[in-house]
Structure 1
Amino acid sequence: MMKHALASTAALISLAFTPLLAHAQKKYDQGATDTEIRFGNTAPYSGPASSYGTIGKLQQAYFKKINDEGGIKGRKLNMISLDDGYNPAKTVEVVRRLVEQDNVLFLFGNVGSPTNSAIQKYVNIKKIPHLFHSSGANKWNDPKNFPWSMAFTPNYQTEGRIYAEHILKNASGAKIAVLYQNDDFGKDYVQGLKSGLGNKGSMIVSQASYEVTDATINSQIAALRASGAEVFVDASSPKFTAQAIRNVADVGWKPTHYIPFPSSSVGSVLTPAGLDKSTGVVSVGWLKDPTNEQLADDPGVKEYLDFMKKYYPEGDIKDTMNAYAYTAAQALVKVLAQAGNNLTRDNIMKQAASLKDVELPMLLPGIRLNTSTTDYAPVKSLQPISFDGKQWVNHGEVVQTKP
């Protein structure tokens, strides 16, 4: 009898403390509750890089989808997205507001190299997770010095080295002309290109830069053309890439034209430039092209197109930045799901640095996300591609890269 009573008492004590234990297991920093995960974002909804604004718009639509499905463990995702006009000073202003007034748990998907660079020290001093921002600048894979900043875009220097390898393989004796945006974005591509060329660096016979505030790059194209280069490596952002493609064709220059991944959108870059004028340009890919007829039955592409139709019908499926934004948003959902009920800044950063062979619907076959405490580059594989006048086609094997 006594044993039965003791067992019953123990069971009651256990039941009584179960809710307390469950509650104790939940850990929150500001911006997280039982019902909400609040985080911040900046994007250029206006200004010279406004074509990138679609990234923030799609991600807001994607998180609405997640919320419609019940959120993550019952918590709704609340992304506060503010316009910074691609102006670093404005980025600093709105990020301070997000952190100090809106009390966000973390930052996600902030767009741009110069804009993210402007807040890098601030967020690391404040220990705010600065996750999956849209920049491939080399500085982002530096967990030792900046443990709170992790980008999503593949490394620009790595991309530049792949272009160098491609040039050496296909046009080893060619003269190379280079155009670059005068900031981390453009300079990293040039550094990667030169690193990849190694002792063949003398192949570069002409270089020209531009500022993101410039109206045109016509004079730069004229100077580069005059060099007699047969290869044109164009490290420019979308507005200027479209100008470059159009101008190169209009002046009768016919180099092999390499353009960066962030400027490879068929919808927002190649179509405005002219699909006929864009035929033959070379880039790299790591995402599926939803307009590729060969992928019409691909489950991941079907899922993406269904999402676009229902949640972001105004979005352009030909715009590579939309597939990019969709994939980055899915990566964040993966991180938050891994974090469970421990929604502290420390744990969110820990989970972001613990991705293991993550497969997502719009990643090309063989490309997976991997991170660690010593490697903050989620995407490490890229595939050379070329534009055939209608769509991007594979132009080589997937290359396993190193930061």
Structure 2
Amino acid sequence: MIALRFPVATSPAAALLLLAAATCANAETRYDPGASDTEIKIGNIMPYSGPASAYAVAGTIEAAYFQMINDQGGINGRKINFISYDDAYNPAKAVEQARRLVESDEVLAIFNPLGTPSNTAIQKYLNARHVPQLFVGAGSENFGNPSSFPWTMGWQPPYRSEGRIYARYLLAQKPEARIAVLYQNDDLGKEVLKGLKEGLGARLSMIVREESYEIAEPTIDSHILNLKASGADTVLSVTTPKSAVQSIRKVAELGWKPLYIQSYASASVNSVMKPAGFDNAQGILSAYYAKDGADPQWDEDEGMKRFTAFLARYAPTASRSDISVVYGYGAAQAMVQVLRQAGDNLTRANLMKQAASLRNFTPDTVLPGVTINTSATDFFPIEQLQMMRFEGSQWTTFGPVIDGGGSAD
């Protein structure tokens, strides 16, 4: 609170000018719960345990990035207090943790909560409370729908866009493909499949088999056997890491040699390709928007030099080849940009306004040609992907950066 003290000799006119200036200055500094002159509380929910725990290193990297920002003086002199809880990839637990962050910790926003089921579970609650659900760690189109959910903004490309891009590739490179799809039975799997079908358009008959699986299934071997029996020569695997590893291994074990496409949700070298076996992963295709941290082609890239220096000091045990490490760094960098744009107006409404006002922002880790742009009607910051092929022990990108909008026919 600002206390106003006027010298005895101050004239009425001068006093009015001082009062007006002080009132204006006071109006420029606005806070909602979670913000103060010294601190900005940011909440987060990650699957540090459970079937999707391979993703959780992103939360560790985000914490480390915010620590680096704090060491550099914070955001306009305010330190970020990053509070991250485990939900074990369980929607009920995610709701519990969201309530804890909002009602007990009183965070300004919940940033990059990870997973389609968890974010779906907390979305209505956060929107009802007018708490930003910012840069959601999932690609469902429900997380980029400002007319229905004005307090929710996505981060990564929409899953439907990814599906359309694979359709474009197949129509151009393998138009007679017989496609079998393995997909997780939630928005992740359903929306990639929907995008694939939209992209194929009149060539929908190219899909010869669809197999859904539940995240709780201990093994997906039977689904792979069904896909092979369909006579397919192309596989699209829309899976989370544990199931992705099982799928790649089983296809190799069967001696089956389809063109194999792995959705970007499980394209990590460290948590999928390496456990599945590099020999088994050769030639797998995917698409992504960020650089492969282990690819030497980026060694002289200025952004990746900063990324590497950050890891060396703040996360020395993290693997550059883990896609979730690259992911966490880029998302945290975008969050810091939004906080800087917000200035001293640290209200939840202004945070969403600034998140919807990103213009050609390029985190250090995105591929050349990928830019982040948002608006009041566009709540998907990243909508471009580039095809890539797994070769040796890393991904090699090829072709142009592709926007996933529209159809492929």
TM-score (norm 1): 0.96
Are 1:157 and 2:166 an aligned pair? Answer: no
The answer for unaligned runs of 5 or more in structure 1 is 1-5
User: Does structure 2 conserve the Cα–Cα contact (< 8 Å) formed by 1:46 and 1:85?
Assistant: yes
C-alpha deviation, 1:401, in angstroms: 2.6
Equivalent position to 1:146, from 134, 145, 149: 149
User: How far, CA to CA, are the matches of 1:16 and 1:349 in structure 2?
Assistant: 31
The match for 1:246 is 249
C-alpha deviation, 1:16, in angstroms: 6.5
User: How far, CA to CA, are the matches of 1:13 and 1:121 in structure 2?
Assistant: 46
Are 1:48 and 2:48 an aligned pair? Answer: no
User: How far, CA to CA, are the matches of 2:373 and 2:405 in structure 1?
Assistant: 12
Are 1:381 and 2:348 an aligned pair? Answer: no
Equivalent position to 1:225, from 218, 225, 228: 228
Equivalent position to 1:349, from 342, 349, 352: 352
Q: Residue 321 of structure 1: SS of its match in structure 2?
A: helix
User: Does structure 1 conserve the Cα–Cα contact (< 8 Å) formed by 2:136 and 2:143?
Assistant: no
C-alpha deviation, 1:375, in angstroms: 0.9
Q: Can you list the C-alpha shifts for 1:194-249, whole angstroms capped at 9, x where unaligned?
A: 11111111111111111111111111111101111110000001111111111111
AA of the residue aligned to 1:110? P
User: How far, CA to CA, are the matches of 2:32 and 2:222 in structure 1?
Assistant: 52
Equivalent position to 1:130, from 127, 130, 133: 133
C-alpha deviation, 1:185, in angstroms: 0.8
C-alpha deviation, 1:371, in angstroms: 0.5
User: Does structure 1 conserve the Cα–Cα contact (< 8 Å) formed by 2:164 and 2:404?
Assistant: no
Equivalent position to 1:306, from 296, 305, 309: 309
The match for 1:168 is 171
Equivalent position to 1:393, from 385, 392, 396: 396
C-alpha deviation, 1:396, in angstroms: 1.5
User: How far, CA to CA, are the matches of 2:72 and 2:15 in structure 1?
Assistant: 36
How many residue pairs end up in the alignment? 398
The match for 1:3 is none
User: How far, CA to CA, are the matches of 2:191 and 2:141 in structure 1?
Assistant: 7
The match for 1:78 is 81
Alignment of 1:281-320 (within 5 A): 281-320=284-323
TM-score (norm 2): 0.94
Equivalent position to 2:27, from 8, 24, 27: 24
User: How far, CA to CA, are the matches of 1:163 and 1:66 in structure 2?
Assistant: 38
User: How far, CA to CA, are the matches of 1:285 and 1:22 in structure 2?
Assistant: 45
Q: Residue 283 of structure 1: SS of its match in structure 2?
A: strand
AA of the residue aligned to 1:293? P
Q: Residue 189 of structure 2: SS of its match in structure 1?
A: helix
Identity of aligned residues (%): 48
Equivalent position to 1:257, from 260, 274, 285: 260
User: How far, CA to CA, are the matches of 1:41 and 1:209 in structure 2?
Assistant: 29
Alignment of 1:111-126 (within 5 A): 111-126=114-129
C-alpha deviation, 1:345, in angstroms: 0.8
User: How far, CA to CA, are the matches of 1:204 and 1:389 in structure 2?
Assistant: 29
User: How far, CA to CA, are the matches of 2:126 and 2:16 in structure 1?
Assistant: 45
The match for 2:5 is none
The match for 1:279 is 282
Structure 1 moving runs of 4+ over 6 Å = 6-9
